[in-house]
Chain A
């Protein structure tokens, strides 16, 4: 079956702009989690959606938001981009209990200039 699809793969944005990233989970998976990966901070949890509801949220500012649609596809949005938002954004799909094993997408590499 198809894996987790993230689009776009690469993105370059200017400070102050906003960006929307997309994630399509594995068919049948209802949970989508988002992580930010940077060399300095490693993998950090942003938020998790399950059946269109945000179940958990990490310690990120309100500029980071997300949503999930009825087909389980998810988007995350970052407004008023800062240089420090440059990172690899990873989407992780699970059937409901990600702690037992995620399937990650290849990520979106965001560069803020």
Chain B
């Protein structure tokens, strides 16, 4: 079946760089997305990678390697407000589906 594996928790220091990994297993692949969710808040779309390589949006970058079934989210110049849960997500295996299968999420704690 389909799976998206992420580390459950990551802790990093303010101002540092942190990488959150996501490995996936799926029979078909239509791109990898990343979402951020603060406690008590709604998930917020961060990025979408359809092709291999790095996509940069400000302090956040996302990388995809389809040959390795692997992606990561890179957060630079960490700020306290970056403490949140981060989810990778991909369309399900069945063709034509227009929903997302989410990973289990990584809780990022930024410490001073």
State whether these chains interact.
yes
Shortest Cβ distance from B44 into A: residue = A104
Q: A99-B31, A104-B42, A104-B44 are in contact. Are A48 and B104 (CB under 8 A)?
A: no
The dominant DSSP class at the B interface is: loop
Instruction: Give the number of residues in A that approach B within 8 Å (Cβ atoms).
Output: 26
Q: How far is the CA of A58 from the CA of B94 in the complex (A)?
A: 12
Which A residue sits closest to B91, measured CB to CB?
A99
A84 in the interface (beta carbon within 8 A): no
User: CB-CB < 8 A to B41: which residues of A?
Assistant: 106
Docked CA distance A113–B22 (Å) = 36
Cβ of A64 under 8 Å from chain B: no
Residue numbers of A with Cβ under 8 A of B are 4, 31, 33, 35, 42-45, 48, 50, 55-56, 58, 90, 96-107
B residues sitting closer than 8 Å to A (CB atoms) are 30-31, 33, 35, 41-45, 48, 87, 89, 91-92, 97-105
